Structures are given as structure tokens and as C-alpha cells.
């Protein structure tokens, strides 16, 4: 099985328990991160923007967009069908158009979207540079993309890297989902991914003219990058 297929299989395995694990492991802070990202994403784009949620998972981001802009047209794309299915039972999910899609070859026309959100997706991609060029292609000139991610830290963080990610996260993940391997994958994928600054360079190379990033509470665990 190829590496991308293994990652998709992992998300398929934990889809039904993914949200519960996230809420416990982040103590609910993931919802605050997503809310801040959506506020930034939609600012200045009116009441009915056309929005893409790339790597939508269980549709939390797409639903957050609709809660802020009930008139928005929201399309959610993810490579894991089971993650999308797991989100279908949520309130407001019926208004989201969900589609299984490959971020490296998006099935949408050029400039199809005003805005695009991607939360905790790009770290899992085989070729982030290619995927971000595709994202640039489908977001219209003058549009905006917001990426939330766990980027590789610039320096070792004793609590997060040595204690929490290495020991607490796999143990709690296994207790909640029964799948310790999936929660060992998270810190491993962070360690081999780009730093936020490197990712900002990648976005500029993909064609985004204006790129800015900032760390999010607590302690720079997650970061948000805005591109236009």
C-alpha cells in the first residue's frame, strides 16, 4: 500500500471517533482555532461567498463557515470518504456539498471560489507544493485562503514535543479510538513537515502574492497562514 493510501486508510479507520478524540486532546481549543480562522477567512467577502473547505474531514470547518455566513455556498473536499460521511449527521451539514477529491488534482474550474479554508490537512499531503498550486488555481484573483496547521517547530519544545506528543497523545488517542498508531502518526508527521516560515515561502512560490502567518494559543502549538 502506498504512503498516501496508508494515510487515507488511517483516517477511514478513526473517522467515527475522530471528533471525540480531537475535543479531548485539544481540550476544545481546536474549535477556537477554527473559529478564528473562519473569521479571518470571511472578513470582507459579503454574505454569500463561494467557499472551499479543503481536507474538510468531518465538516467542522464547512459548518463553521455556514454559521457565520448562512448564505454561503460551501463545498467540502476530502480524500477520506468515511470522514465526510461521519460529518453528515451534524446540524447544518445538509447545506454542505461534500465531495471525495484529491488535493493534488482538484476537480474544480479555475477561480471557482472566493475563499478557501484548510484545517490540519496540508501536513498529510504527498506534495504540498503541487496542492497549493491547485489551491491557488481554484481561488479567484482577490480571493483568500486560510490554512491552519501543526507546523514543524523551529526549536524543540519540552512539554509539547518530549512529553505531550510523544507520550500523552498516543495514550489518550488509543483510549478514545482504539488506534494508537494514528496518534503516533501526528507527532511524526509534524516532525517531518515544514516550518511555518518554510510553508509561507511555498505559498508564495505557488502564486499567492500576499502571505502572512502567526502562531496561535497555546504556546504556538498551531499556526494560521493567510494567503491572497
Q: Is the pLDDT of residue 49 over 90?
A: yes
- Residue 141 confidence (pLDDT): 97
- Residue 19 confidence (pLDDT): 93
Only one residue has cell 514543524, namely 152
Domains of the chain are 3-227 (3.40.50.150)
In the structure, what pLDDT confidence band is assigned to residue 221 with cuts at 50, 70 and 90?
A: confident
pLDDT, tens digit, 9 for 90 and up, residues 30-41: 999 999 999 999
142: three-class secondary structure by DSSP: strand
Task: Work out the angle at residue 58's Cα, subtended by the Cα atoms of residues 187 and 176, and round it to the nearest 5 degrees.
Answer: 55
Please compute the mean of the pLDDT values over residues 165-182 and round it to a whole number. 80
Task: Please report which helix (H) or strand (E) contains residue 224, including its range.
Answer: strand 222-227
Q: Kindly report the pTM of this predicted structure.
A: 0.94
Please compute the mean of the pLDDT values over residues 10-26 and round it to a whole number. 91
Please compute the mean of the pLDDT values over residues 79-102 and round it to a whole number. 96
Q: Is the pLDDT of residue 1 over 80?
A: no
Per DSSP bridges, beta strands 113-119 and 97-100 are: unpaired
Cell numbers for 113, please give them. Answer: 471560489
In the structure, what pLDDT confidence band is assigned to residue 158 with cuts at 50, 70 and 90?
A: low
Angle between helices 169-177 and 180-191 (to 10 degrees): 140
- On whether the CB atoms of residues 195 and 154 are closer than 8 A, the answer is yes
Annotate 175-208 with b (16+ C-beta within 10 A) or e (fewer): ebbebeebbbbbbeebeebbebeebbebbeebeb
Amino acid at each position: 500500500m502506498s504512503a498516501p493510501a496508508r494515510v487515507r486508510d488511517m483516517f477511514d479507520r478513526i473517522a467515527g471517533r475522530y471528533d471525540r478524540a480531537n475535543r479531548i486532546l485539544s481540550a476544545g481549543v481546536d474549535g477556537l482555532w477554527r473559529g478564528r480562522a473562519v473569521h479571518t477567512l470571511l472578513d470582507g467577502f459579503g454574505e454569500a461567498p463561494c467557499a472551499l473547505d479543503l481536507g474538510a474531514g468531518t465538516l467542522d470547518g464547512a459548518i463553521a463557515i455556514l454559521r457565520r455566513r448562512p448564505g454561503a455556498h460551501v463545498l467540502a473536499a476530502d480524500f477520506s470518504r468515511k470522514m465526510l460521511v461521519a460529518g453528515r449527521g451534524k446540524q447544518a451539514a445538509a447545506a454542505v456539498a461534500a465531495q471525495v477529491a484529491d488535493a493534488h488534482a482538484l476537480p474544480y474550474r479555475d477561480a471557482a471560489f472566493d475563499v478557501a479554508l484548510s484545517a490540519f490537512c496540508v501536513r498529510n499531503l504527498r506534495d504540498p507544493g503541487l496542492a497549493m498550486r491547485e489551491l491557488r488555481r481554484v481561488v479567484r484573483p482577490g480571493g483568500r485562503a486560510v490554512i491552519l496547521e501543526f507546523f514543524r517547530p523551529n526549536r524543540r519544545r519540552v512539554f509539547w514535543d518530549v512529553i505531550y506528543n510523544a507520550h500523552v497523545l498516543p495514550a489518550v488517542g488509543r483510549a478514545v479510538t482504539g488506534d494508537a498508531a494514528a496518534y503516533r502518526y501526528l507527532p511524526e508527521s509534524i516532525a517531518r513537515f515544514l516550518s511555518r516560515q518554510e510553508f509561507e515561502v511555498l505559498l508564495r512560490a505557488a502564486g499567492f502574492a500576499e502571505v502572512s502567518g502567526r502562531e496561535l494559543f497555546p504556546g504556538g502549538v498551531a499556526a494560521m497562514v493567510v494567503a491572497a
